[in-house]
Chain A
Amino acid sequence: MTKALPTVRPGDHAIAVLPAGPAARNGTDIVPEVELRALDQLWFQVSGTVCNLRCQHCFISCSPENHSFWFMSRDQVAASLAESVRLGVKEYYFTGGEPFMNRDMLGILEDTLQIGPATVLTNATLLPQRVVDRLAELSRASRYTLELRVSIDGVTADMNDAIRGPGSFERAVAAVGRLAAAGFLPIITTMQSWPDHETDPMLQDFHQVLADVGYDRPRLKVLPPLRIGSEASRDRPYDEAEAVTVDMMAEYPSDLLLCSSARLVTSTGVWACPILLDYSSGRLADTLDEAVAVPARLAEQACYTCWVNGAICSNMPGFAMEQT
């Protein structure tokens, strides 16, 4: 077992000195590639790009009308779950769009929790008591953990709703209260839309808002913006220099990147990760079996955000360890 990796951690590169941007690829079109180390995380684009909200920062521009990717059926997911057993997958993630717009979602979770842990990335606006009760039942019935990851993008309705749409704050916060009362400890994710020095007070305010609905030991995760899709116009797109080059990967422990340990199954093929859904460079193959053998191509500028921050999509960041 020999693995020589520098112990670089997410954050180490926060202010990276960039040698160059995509231009430095010398017009030769050399794109850094990352091999799959092991298929630890299997992601499902379970509601395609369909969402009941139309957030200003959505990096894949989901909305009620965005039907580029369609819902996955319980059978489709079950087929990949069966394959995942053979591949030794460790964790299952469900994203969209809004997963709970998929009518099969509870059934899909029931199937998944029989074989492993499940995480759902949700906007929590479609979680009435009936659904929360059922989720709690599914969680109790499984030896594996069921994680609900709830996106809230501000500590007030004004701040959140400016990004996520009118009424979304109140509905999401109320659902968090119901989840907490049902015994869940939802992971609250929030995209950092403020300067760094405001993070501490912001987190304190989050604690207060969540405590007010009865969630008094929140798990909070601040995410960096992905400057693609809608977010490119809400704030700004990537600078030209913000891209990953072959040189930048030379000393970099690629274990930190989601694409070194994950694949995303959609209704129409398998992608390297959930971030590059809108890019043809992100599509690796028709089937999971084929996609595990194809390296991810860090061809898009969004890859730069991963390079700086590590596996932002996972519940826990990817981390490497030098071991000789």
Chain B
Amino acid sequence: MRSYRRIALFGGVYSNHLALSAAIEDALGRDVDGMMCLGDLGAFGPHPDRVFPLLREHDIEVVKGNYDDSIARGLDDCQCGYTDPRDNHFARISYRYTFDNTSPENRVWMSNLPYEIRFRLGDLDVLACHGSPRQTNEFLWESTTPTHFLDKLATDYSADVVVGTHTGLRWNRSWGEQRTFVNVGALGRPANDGSPAVWYAILQAEARDMDVEFVSVAYDHLALAKEMRDEELPEEFVETILTGWWTTCLEILPGKERAAGRF
């Protein structure tokens, strides 16, 4: 099991290679001794294959997300479980585009990713997953995740700290004897807050004392928007990149999180 003192954790990349590249640069300037990505490499953005070289070049370990699993295995959809017809419409466009533009080599590479990675941070046992330790596509939102439920997960999966991304909105909570859950946010799209910046997390621990820091990354989102338009991706997706507000995949948001956004 690898051991770290200070690690950068990246959430869903959603093909946003420009944000990933900016986040890597940013993290390297912040004295981290490791970088990890919690999955969902493709979706939403342009040119999915541009993400993989960045991950390999910087030796970034990657957890398999539900999107990666779907693309790798050629499933019919992304396994996000939308029932809303509008959400489904956009999810299908995004999935089809990503599937068609991901090379067979990268699909094989994704198929070999693990569903969880365990590591040590200081004296803490950390479990990195995509959604939850028990199910890759489980949504853990801040407003629908009771602390006693997190405690059960931590106990069932023998971890002091659980980190995930799936929802794409950052939050963290600590309880009891230094147990912590962190949703590291996402690099792929902004945090539904009216700002185009994206977020990742840095975790640092000494012995069993841990700090969680969320870092906002401003990147060339205008260039990304241009690439998306050149690829004829839906204008609704471009709008999110430009404005910071989520315009699609809204069904899955709980009332509290949805009310904080515009749509």
Contacts and interface: CB of A to CB of B under 8 A. Distances in A.
Interface residues of A, number: 38
A117 B255 CA distance: 10
A90 to B, nearest CB: 5
Interface band, chain B: 35 or more
A221 B82 CA distance: 12
B258 A185 contact: yes
A315 B149 CA distance: 18
B126 to A, nearest CB: 16
B66 A321 contact: yes
A70 B249 CA distance: 40
A219 B84 CA distance: 9
A183 B152 CA distance: 32
A10 interface: yes
Contacts of B69: 321, 323
B137 A90 contact: no
A8 to B, nearest CB: 11
Contact of B146 (A7, A115, A319): A115
Contacts of A11: 83
Interface stretch (A72-80, A126-134, A143-151, A281-289): A143-151
B83 A323 contact: no
A143 B81 contact: no
A145 B143 contact: yes
Contacts of A293: none
Contact of B79 (A86, A183, A321): A321
A145 B134 contact: no
A160 to B, nearest CB: 22
Given A145-B256, A321-B135, A323-B135, A91 B148 contact: no
Nearest to B129: A1
B114 to A, nearest CB: 11
B254 interface: yes
Interface of A: 1, 3, 7, 9-11, 38, 84-86, 88-91, 115-117, 139, 143-147, 183-185, 187, 200, 203, 217, 219, 221, 315-317, 319, 321, 323
